[in-house]
Amino acid sequence: MRIVVTGGAGFIGSALIRYLHAKTDWHILNVDKLTYAGDLSSLASLSSSSRYEFLHCDIVHQEKLTSAFMQFKPDAIMHLAAESHVDRSIIGAGEFIQTNVVGTYALLEATRAYWLSLSASKQQTFRFHHISTDEVYGDLPHPDDNDYAGQLFSEDSSYAPSSPYSASKAASDHLVRAWHRTYGLPVLVTNCSNNYGPYHFPEKLIPQTILKAISGEVIPVYGNGQQIRDWLYVDDHVSALQCVLQNGQPGETYNIGGLNEVKNIDVVHKICALLQELRPQATKYADLITFVEDRAGHDRRYAIDAQKIEQTLGWQPQHNFSEGLRATVLWYLNNLDWATTRLNQALKD
């Protein structure tokens, strides 16, 4: 197979490319704009591979995408390119609308032009796989709420995005489904829970906590830290993406979760405890934890019902949170130069 991955220099995109390159004999074209969060060093091991190519391109450039597709002749497109940091979307929503909404529209149109050029049999087997987030559903009742009953996000959950980021992703989901219904484009949609693991950009909770702690800086925690997230190890996520691409039914949505609901404050404490074990010091890392003003519109709880992908496609996550978090902390301790360089870049941008 020949696969286009948009946003392949990002955290999940690069993990997907490394996974597909290792597990298959597929040819992969990585299309990425290389924003502050894009990092080709995470794919350095593939630089000499004849099965990997890189195209520096913003997905809003429809004609350039169409031309690239006509030349590369993909069997599928896996769309991960997105602005994804909630705090940045609150400060400035414009880039999120441009990339996540306008960019997805341009990509869909470039894909449709290419798809229409294929033979009838190739059109049937072609797939456009849109990778999205559980944040499009808003939030769920919290254990502290009177109406809490262990509710989970399913594929039938109503959309109720809270931030400019999640609203832009919700819009992109709707565009993809509309291109399926109106034009017949064979699409797949997946909505995942919070990813974590190696090469995670350092402005996100887990890598930021690790770096702040080992630098002796204050570890900021929003509000009271009681927000709950379902944590999904990135290698589990990308294995699910391959499973959906190869076995999912066009027009269907599949929720992908790690089955690991953990409060933010507990995540931070677990990281501090691991660092105390792996890199002991006289003062406790946990003493650096400081509660700060809560994020505007902060969702209190996310949790995925992953029964559909398990029952119909046979996929399950392979990492529990304790195992995945330990592996992640160890990776950052062994790759501090990479992490600090990326963090400094984020601060500049």
Query: Which sign does the torsion angle of CA 337, 236, 89, 187 carry?
Result: positive
Q: Which of 52, 137, 165, 196 is catalytic?
A: 165
The reply to whether 165 belongs to the active site is yes
The reply to whether 135 belongs to the active site is yes
Q: Are 196 and 324 in contact (CB under 8 A)?
A: yes
Q: Is 275 helix (H, G, I), strand (E, B) or coil?
A: helix
Q: Read off the DSSP letter of residue 158.
A: P
Q: Which of 32, 39, 134, 203 is catalytic?
A: 134
Report the C-alpha gap between 191 and 244 in whole angstroms.
11
Report the C-alpha gap between 136 and 122 in whole angstroms.
32
The reply to whether 236 belongs to the active site is no
Long-range contact set of residues 153-159: C-beta below 8 Å, sequence gap at least 24: 153/191, 153/255, 153/302, 153/303, 153/304, 153/305, 154/255, 154/305, 154/307, 154/308, 155/191, 155/252, 155/253, 155/254, 155/255, 155/308
Half-sphere exposure of 168 (CA within 13 A, CB side): 26
Report the C-alpha gap between 12 and 196 in whole angstroms.
9
Active site residues per annotation: 134-135, 165
